[in-house]
Structure 1
Amino acid sequence: MLKIGEFSKLSRISVRMLRHYDEIDLLKPAEIDRFTDYRYYREDQLPTAGRITALKDMGFSLADIARILAVYDDRDQLEQFFSARQTELVNLSQDTAHKLMLLDAARKRLRKEKNMSYNVTIKTIPERYAATVQMTIPHYEDEGMVWGIMMEETGRMNLAEADPCLCAVTFLDGEYKEENVEVMAWKTVKGSYPDTDHVKFSTLPEVTVASCTYKGSYTLITEVYTAVVEWLNANGYEPNGPMFNIYHVSPHETQIPDEFVTEVCYPVKKKS
């Protein structure tokens, strides 16, 4: 039998933590002296202590560890616990990576773009013939789904691009949506083509917009939206239809976010 101090050294678990494990029935001493209250452990309890430490290092809670130890010899149940924890960690790593990207973008703006300003202009985009796909996507960042459908259904048509060729997405909802976002992707082309299941060819009307073109990651786009709306209020304009983004340089051309070139367009009219 091992005294608690000896067991602590061999298991590399502090005496304080061993006492806590005893209190929550996770790892109980083999014997407690009823006169001195000294705790004693058997040598064959060391593997269990090692399992507890390993599971803690994987991020399992003590409650989960207790459940795992109860089925530790059942490989199928053990695999279920490990698989569920792996999924949790993958999701956590993806969320962390996204937050790190946002943090990095914010730091870059602090260092390099202290005097950043966005130039807003009024322009008229003429009538244009375009391939369009209108659909509901899960979230705003899922725009790629719409372009994927367009490419898949027009791949064999040898579409002739207009000059200039504009690729854009119009946001049809009247408010910000956390999910189920209604959008229409469009690409200007020349010629005549038959509609497909999802791709419709139509002439889009002339539109007057407040336009702001910027270079950089899509993480900046909320700032650009804000700048455009502030400009509208300051210059006597109001929105006149769903806004859209024209992607002059997109992930289709480069995988470097700092090289993206996006034109934010708000259809407008003069306030009466």
Structure 2
Amino acid sequence: MFKISEFSKLSQVPAKTLRFYDQIELLKPAYTDQQSGYRYYKSEQLLDLHRILAFKELGFTLEQIKQLLKDNVSTVEMRGMLRLKQAELHSLIQSKMERLRQIEVRLEQIERQSDGLSQYEVVVKKVEPLLVATLKETTSRASIPGLFEEIDEYLKWDNIPLPVTHMVMRHGCPECESNIDLEIACPIPRKLQDTARFRTVELPGLTVAAVTHISRPDVDTPVSIDLGSWIEENGYQISPEMPSREVYLSTKEGDKLRYVTESQMPILGVGCM
């Protein structure tokens, strides 16, 4: 058997950690001298220690690891647990990436304001009725690029030439917290076969206050601040029935994540009645 100092050297795990694992009954020494309190370990316990370290590296807590070792889980059970851990980590990464994108947008907004750049130019225009294929889902903005890909596959299946213009309409969802009722739409030349997931509808014509800018579909844009200020200052009202639209015209050259975008807010008021 090995003294704790020797076992620590063999395993490259600090003696302090080994003592802690003993205290929480995660890895007990093979023998403890009752008079001196010295801990002794057998070489085969290196395998248990390596398993503990491997589980820890995968993100399991010490309590979870203790249960795993105690229950001696099967390969099938282990595979299921690892898939759950994989999904958990994917969700965490997506959440962190979304927060990072939000920070980047806010930094751009601060830099634009500090540089004294003028507000976006707002135009009022008529939007004609438009035949579109649509896909509705209650989700977060981070899912929009994936929804673009999904509707593109549907259009490709119906022999609609790509690329197409993508449109996002926000129907709101007051009780959904981070999720919103989104409708993804693409203009189409003819009516397509409806499915459980996709529909063909005709969007009504309307009058909008519009701003053209560069944005990412998966992140909120501060352009709404300038658009709201302009609508208020010029005596217009936002139409309560019609959802706002973001029309993603084309990707920015050299940057597939950013689009030339037209944000459209349906309005009522001066010259619109």
Q: What's 1:162 paired with?
A: none
CA contact (8 A) 2:247 2:263 kept: yes
Partner of 1:125: 126
Query: What is the alpha-carbon distance in structure 1 between the residues aligned to residue 9 and residue 192 of structure 2?
Result: 75
Partner of 2:248: 247
| 2:125 partner amino acid | T
Name the structure 1 match of 2:236.
237
- 2:159 corresponds to which letter in structure 1? G
3-state secondary structure, aligned to 2:221: helix
Contact 2:122–2:230 (8 Å) recurs in 1: no
Identity of matched residues, %: 25
Aligned to 1:171: 170
Tell me the amino acid that sits aligned with residue 69 of structure 2: L
Give the match for residue 60 of structure 1: 60
User: Aligned in 2, Cα 1:167/1:88: closer, same or farther, shift over 3 Å?
Assistant: closer
Q: Cα RMSD (Å) of the superposition?
A: 3.7
Following superposition, the deviation at residue 228 of structure 1 comes to: 0.8
Question: Is residue 170–residue 183 contact of structure 1 (8 Å, CA) maintained in 2?
Answer: yes
In the alignment, residue 5 of structure 1 is paired with which amino acid?
S
| Post-superposition offset of 1:80 | 3.1
Contact kept? 2:124, 2:209, Cα under 8 Å? yes
Aligned to 1:25: 25
Taking structure 2 as the reference length, the TM-score comes to: 0.75
* TM-score normalised over the length of structure 1: 0.75
Residue pair 2:134, 2:201 contacting (<8 A) in 1 also: no
Residues 1:146 and 1:266: Cα distance change in structure 2 (over 3 Å): farther
Larger radius of gyration between Structure 1 and Structure 2: 1
Deviations 1:45-73 (CA, angstroms, capped at 9, x unpaired): 22222222222222221112112223447
* Count of aligned residue pairs for this structure pair: 259
Is the partner of 2:44 in helix, strand or coil? helix
8 Å Cα contact 2:138-2:181 kept in structure 1: yes
* Cα deviation 1:71-115 (Å, max 9, x = unaligned): 447433333333333333333334344444444555566667843
Partners of 2:170 and 2:245 within 8 A in 1: yes
Q: Indicate the residue corresponding to 2:212 in structure 1.
A: 213
Residue aligning to 1:257: 257
